[in-house]
Amino acid sequence: MTTYPARIPIRASRTRLHGAFTALVTPFTADGAVDEAAFGRLLDAQLAGGIAGLVPCGTTGESPTLSADERDRLIELSVAAARSAEDPRPTVLAGTGTNDTAASIAATRRAAELGADAALVVAPYYNRPNQAMLAAHYTAVADEGGLPVVVYNVPSRTATNVEAATLLELAAHPMIVGVKEASGNLDQIALICRDRPDGFAVLAGDDAWTLPMLALGGDGVVSVASNEVPAEMVALCAAALAGHIDAAREIHERLLPLFRANFAGAPSPAPVKAALSAMGLIENQLRLPLLPLGTAGVEGMADTLRAAGALAPRSLAASRA
């Protein structure tokens, strides 16, 4: 195992890798442009909900279809929103990972220039690196990117699993500060939570896994549902981290249908965008190859939001229509 110097604080006053982080969607207008006004409304809702972190340009933000200029702008807007918030300010964890190590380094450096606090770096997809290659990739980004790195492990999207032994080796690097764990492998997650070094954050990568991972000693979640219900995800994490498991479980059980609906019927972020359009925050627009849910899908997501208490009940007139 490689030996690294003692973990060093990087922007320690700003980097808060615990609690609920929102994997922000990227709103688009009907003509396909980034909708900055809608993104601003979404950011305002996140700040009002007390969210701990903003995650622009991740896969929930349709990062593969964003131009470099669009990614820069979304990071800029997220940083500006975070800086406008009262302390404690939310952490900006910018998605910078690709399946090209050099491109990931360049994107991470650019995010640092724009004021991001840390970088979320997905495991390389399509080229399917083995464990030694994954270690080399993340070490290079950590060595040269200029930001603390959070490993994003999501085998269902990448076809590559960052195994526990590999992640724990990487966790010794002073610039690799956490993992967004979406493997769905409880044994792997438990090993990571047990054996990680002090200060290394373990964040759930699936909303439905938030409570189980916090019970294992995890630190929070990078959430899709917090686009819709930021205050509720903040409350779930706060209750669990404080040891109030019954209160956390009540929130978890009430929101579980929403967690499931956000990944049902179409690839994410189509369902969450349908929900946010029902809430009046964004237009129901995605970029090809993804397509938006139709009217029935939007109405179904609205019903799920109502059941979770996140949308006003239908009026009597509407229910009769």
Q: What share of the chain is helix, strand, coil (3-state, %, to 5)?
A: 45, 10, 40
On the CB side of 83, CA atoms within 13 Å amount to: 10
Angle at 123 between CA 119 and CA 126, to 5 degrees: 135
Per-residue three-class SS string for 16-64: CCCEEEEECCCCECCCCCECHHHHHHHHHHHHHCCCCEEECCCHHHCHH
Which secondary-structure segment (H or E) carries 122?
strand 118-122
Task: Point out the residues that are catalytic.
Answer: 152, 180
Contact 124, 137 (CB under 8 A): yes
Q: Which residue has the tokens 């969210």?
A: 51
